Chain A
Amino acid sequence: MMASSYNAKEEDGPHSGSSTHGGTGVAKNKKPDNTAFKQQRLPAWQPILTAGTVLPAFFVIGLIFIPIGIGLYVTSNNIKEFEIDYTGLELGSPCHDCSKNFTWNSTTPCVCALNFTLEQPFESNVYMYYGLSNFYQNHRRYVKSRDDRQLNGDPTSLMSPSKECEPYRTSAETKEPIAPCGAIANSLFNDTLELYYIEPNGTTTAIPLAKKGIAWWTDKHVKFRNPVNDKENLTELFKGTAKPVNWRKPVYELDPSDPENNGFINEDFIVWMRTAALPTFRKLYRIIHKKPSTTSTLPSGRYTLKVTYSILYNSVKAHAVKGQDKAFI
């Protein structure tokens, strides 16, 4: 209706009042566009919730979730977990002596063996974790205490690590820079865990534990790199740097068996450097690969976990999580 009266006005344009052609032109421009957007008439949909619509929708969605839930439940039940606590605080524990007498600067490592029995065989790949409790890897002072440039192989940072690494920046005696510097690297978890299967006839076989593939791909190939220069030898590369105070071996000797797994790109090291969000955490230690044959990865039976205590996690409760069978994946 408004539009029609407007047209009527346009027809007698110059006649109406004193407004000239310019005047009506302005008036014309001022007329708002009659579009759905500008008049706030865009189509909209608003659900009107009544019992008649809500209840069926509710039940339909509920029905959809039931199979999903069943699937998740079955999957979750197929994952088997076995956990061994080797902190050794209890008197009866085989590791009690180690935990009591051992100090980090003792020269001989303390070894303790724990026997356990698997009731059911573990199929597929088995992942071996170590877990720590009450270890505040998420403390701000701790989290900051690293030099990512140094870990990425920057030669200048190698020789003069970031201030954030204090007090683990330079070694107290030689004043040489520590590589890798910082509190995180210094506290590297270096217990050695070995797993033996005791066959029914009494013979003991070592189970092969794979060290590779436990770190994130991006960490291993992008974030962590050994310093590169003309020298080929890692020992030469790290010359002039000191090992972290708590370490027994320098960084280039972390894995004596595999030269490719040394230096900053050692996977155990990389896993440790990815700090945990909570004070109780687990980190992947080794992978027991599936055997090509039909036999189980870990058949049921008796096993021995041999722990070589290397550093003192005295206040920290350490435990090895033995395996997480992922038969489904």
Chain B
Amino acid sequence: MISPVHAWVLTRFRGNINIYMGNEPVSRSLASQNLLLRGATLKNTEYIYGVAIYTGMETKMALNYQSKSQKRSAVEKSMNAYLVVYLCILISKAVINTALKYVWQSDPNKDEPWYNEKTETERQRHILIRAFTDFLAFMVLFNYIIPVSMYVTVEMQKFLGSYFMMWDDEMFDEELGERAVVNTSDLNEELGQVEYVFTDKTGTLTENNMEFIECCVDGNVYVPHVICNGQVMPGAAGIDMIDTSPGPDAREHEELFFRALCLCHTVQVKEEETVDGIKHGIHQGKSSSFYISSSPDEVALVEGMKRLGFTYLRLRDGQMEILNREDEIERFELLEVLTFDSVRRRMSVIVRSSTGELYLFCKGADSSIFPRVISGKVEQVKARVEHNAVEGLRTLCVAYRPLSAEQYGQVCHLLTRAKLEFQDQDKLVAEAYDLIERDLILLGATAVEDRLQDKAADTIESLHKAGMKVWVLTGDKMETAAATCYASKLFRRSTQILELTTKRTEEQSLHDVLFELSRTVLRHYGGMPRDTSSGLSSEYTDYGLIIDGATLSAVMRPSQEESNSGNYKEIFLEICRNCSAVLCCRMAPLQKAQIVKMIKASKEHPITLAIGDGANDVSMILEAHVGIGIMGKEGRQAVRNSDYAIPKFKHLKKMLLVHGHYYYIRISELVQYFFYKNVCFIFPQFLYQFFCGFSQQPLYDTAYLTLYNISFTSLPILLYSLMEQHINIDILKKEPSLYRDITKNSLLTWPIFTYWTVLGIYDAIVMFFGAYFLFDNTTFTSNGQ
């Protein structure tokens, strides 16, 4: 029944169904509009018949499932390295003692004095077996140097410590009623090690809460909040002020524009009250009914229109009802919907007005509308669109085309023919759409703002100061994304922007562009070592890089014909390393993960953090060392796959700068202390062997040996590692640069580890010989015993 499309093609579905009426199978084609996806709600009908397809492991979700690899923190890795060192120490100690034992025993008087004879079987044992058993006995004797209980304590510290994160009042969000969620406690300390932050834009940096800002009809700007009661007032902030009487032609265009926006969408009206109440409810502007759409932009547009006087009421019996400024209901018959797709990046509707005129309204991205426009005030609108894009607004252009009856007939013919075709349906439909959507007359453009989240700029600034490199990975187009980056202070005015986009690579070859950029970047840092250059970024010129998806995939593509194309990746990485901020726009979800992977694999092996809210960020969250989910509007997918989830982007600051810092300090002290205390404990035992003829006599009672790690020493340090605050929380928040002190695992480097070990050995020697000389010639009790 189904002709399977590859699982990773998420947007397409094709199949046909054979319906048996009698014995004759009737074949019907199925496409994605016949498919009900998970989470679909039943509307307007009591029931539908359905067949379950793609179930269980066949679901696209399961097929796209990236097995969640075990994430291990840098601290754990260094812990393991230390363990290997200690194992070596253990073995060498045992070997030294075994060797010395036989040197010592070479004197038979010492090996077997008259007071301490061996048994017959002991004497007959082969020397190698004896040596081996001695070695094993020394291993057992010294095995306490390996801090076995450290793992238990570390796990407990992490588990209990993660509660502080959940309990944090400042990471509680009032609106959502959510607090931070810790899905894994293994990575607490990794939060203090982050060097690269990869963030999604929509929903993470921004609220994903679209707001209609303005529209522009033929170069005249309309701003909703300065329009009252259907009267267009001259906006105070507007640049191209409209006349109160724009003339009949403009007036007509204006109304057409508003109607177009009211009609050209796939928004549905969700009513809470009964049918009778709707009209009243909407008219009063109460939230008794609201709009639902797959795209938040559309909702914002329709709501914006409502504020401009044109209210979309509902779709009933193929009739779209609009309440216009004069409170009259206009009815349009919805004839065709040319749905939105990401290739065309526009959508259209064909409607018949109550007067019988046929219109095609088209709405889409500027780049896809302008080439199809034949008339209208293109220049003014274009200028406005560009202006808005720079402001960080999401822009859409609206155009229309009046259709004659014959034209409509043609359109219908084209569409039905395309839809009946099974083999190349998609292609034919696209061609048909292409034919229909042309010779448009430009009406205007809209601008929708996706507001920045609260304190997003402050957070990014702090992260920068803390020495982290922030990358924004977004699917949005370059101008919009760049504007958001400026607004969020990712790019400052002083930042020198390097562009690596399709536009540039079209002019020059990728090769040249890359080399030029790397030269620009490296020229600046020319003579000096990189450490100093990354130290205080504010004193040097900042570089910001903008790269788009297409160019990135070109960079990432493995070398095919030339050998030097493999170097592109290296050059690109070199450029990235020298940029404080990187913006990647037009990214596919998988590309996001690829970038994270690329940075992870670069030669410094930096710790990466990915933060996002939507399902498209999941792959990136799973790939990064630490994945953080934002409890956003796009579902819980990201939250479920993340290691930590926070309600808002601003909470990242406290999470990294305070909690991350603390946990890193705490756990590193914990780990070092554990090694120290075991050295301290066991080294006297080693020394004692020199005084007891290397006979494996333990220095301590068995009870001490057992309890030392478990109860004598683990609890105090556990408490310490839960509560330690070497610096006040407020200071940590105020001075993000303190974070730089602990990057690169700086508290678990080999010199520090050696320091602790040497300290342990020193203390052990002091304790052993202190006791040795103290009790050498004295008695313990007053009665001389």
Task: Give A contacts to B, CB under 8 Å.
Answer: 2, 5-6, 9, 19, 23-24, 26-28, 30-34, 38-42, 44, 46, 125, 127, 135-136, 138-143, 145, 166-168, 183, 186-187, 213-216, 246, 271, 277-279, 282, 284, 287, 312, 315, 324, 326, 329
Contact = CB atoms under 8 A, between A and B. Distances in A.
Interface string B693-710: 101110000000000000
B49 interface: no
Contact of A34 (B115, B169, B175): B169
A136 B169 contact: no
Interface of B: 109-110, 113-120, 163-164, 166-170, 172, 174-179, 662, 691-693, 695-697, 723, 725-726, 729, 772, 775-777, 779, 782-785
Given A32-B168, A279-B692, A6 B174 contact: yes
22 contacts: A5-B174, A9-B175, A28-B177, A32-B167, A32-B169, A38-B167, A39-B167, A40-B662, A44-B725, A136-B695, A138-B693, A138-B697, A139-B692, A139-B697, A140-B696, A140-B697, A141-B118, A142-B115, A183-B116, A214-B784, A284-B779, A315-B109
Contact of B170 (A2, A24, A30, A168): A2
Given A140-B692, A167-B120, A30 B113 contact: no
Given A140-B695, A326-B784, 17 more contacts: A9-B175, A30-B177, A31-B169, A31-B172, A38-B167, A39-B168, A40-B662, A40-B729, A138-B697, A139-B116, A139-B693, A143-B697, A167-B119, A167-B120, A277-B775, A284-B784, A324-B779
A133 to B, nearest CB: 12
A219 to B, nearest CB: 9
Given A136-B113, A140-B692, A167-B117, A30 B772 contact: no
Contact of A315 (B113, B693, B726): B113
B692 A138 contact: yes
Contacts of B168: 32, 38-39
B735 to A, nearest CB: 17
Contact of A145 (B116, B697, B726, B775): B116
Contacts of B109: 315
Contacts of B777: 282
Contact of A30 (B179, B693, B725, B726): B179
Given A136-B113, A166-B119, A183-B115, A30 B167 contact: no
B118 A214 contact: no
A215 B785 contact: yes
Nearest to A278: B691
B87 to A, nearest CB: 24
Contacts of B772: 278
Contact of A42 (B120, B178, B723, B779): B723
Contacts of B785: 214-216, 271, 284
A138 B163 CA distance: 50
A27 B177 contact: yes
Contacts of A125: 784
A32 B177 contact: no
Contacts of A33: 167
Contacts of B725: 40, 44
Contacts of B775: 277
Nearest to A5: B174
A329 B517 CA distance: 87
Given A39-B168, A278-B691, A326 B782 contact: yes
Nearest to A28: B177
Contacts of A41: 729
A213 B781 CA distance: 12
B164 A38 contact: yes
A187 B116 contact: yes
B240 to A, nearest CB: 37
Contacts of B776: 278
Contacts of B178: 27, 30
Nearest to B722: A40
Contact of B783 (A19, A27, A30, A213): A213
Contact of A279 (B115, B163, B175, B691): B691
Contacts of A216: 785
Contacts of B662: 40
Contact of B693 (A136, A215, A329): A136
Nearest to A81: B777
A136 B694 CA distance: 11
B697 A40 contact: no
Given A140-B692, A183-B116, A315-B113, A329 B179 contact: no
Contacts of B784: 125, 127, 214, 284, 287, 324, 326
Contacts of B695: 136, 138-142
Nearest to A145: B116
B351 to A, nearest CB: 32
Nearest to A7: B174
Contact of A32 (B113, B172, B726): B172
A136 B692 contact: yes
A215 B109 CA distance: 30
A179 to B, nearest CB: 18
A44 B722 CA distance: 13
Contacts of A168: 117
Contacts of B691: 138, 277-279
A30 B779 CA distance: 63
A278 B688 CA distance: 9
A160 B777 CA distance: 38
Contacts of A32: 166-169, 172, 179
Nearest to B107: A315
Nearest to A8: B174
Contacts of B692: 136, 138-140, 279
A5 to B, nearest CB: 6
A44 B164 CA distance: 17
A262 B356 CA distance: 130
A213 B782 CA distance: 12
A131 to B, nearest CB: 9
A135 B692 CA distance: 10
A51 B114 CA distance: 62
Nearest to B777: A282
Contacts of A145: 116
Contacts of A166: 119
A308 B114 CA distance: 20
Contacts of A2: 169-170, 172, 174
B299 to A, nearest CB: 15
Contacts of A23: 177
A69 to B, nearest CB: 15
Nearest to A35: B167
B542 to A, nearest CB: 33
Contacts of A28: 177
Contacts of A186: 115
B117 A183 contact: yes
A125 B784 CA distance: 9
Given A187-B116, A315-B113, A30 B172 contact: yes
Contacts of A246: 115
B776 to A, nearest CB: 8
B169 A39 contact: yes
A138 to B, nearest CB: 4
A253 to B, nearest CB: 21
Contacts of A287: 783-784
Nearest to B782: A329
Contacts of A315: 109, 113-114
A105 B707 CA distance: 47
A26 B172 contact: no
A278 B691 CA distance: 6
A24 B166 CA distance: 19
A315 B113 CA distance: 9
A28 B172 CA distance: 11
A6 B177 CA distance: 10
B704 to A, nearest CB: 14
Contacts of A27: 176-178
A278 B774 CA distance: 13
A19 B177 CA distance: 10
A9 B174 CA distance: 8
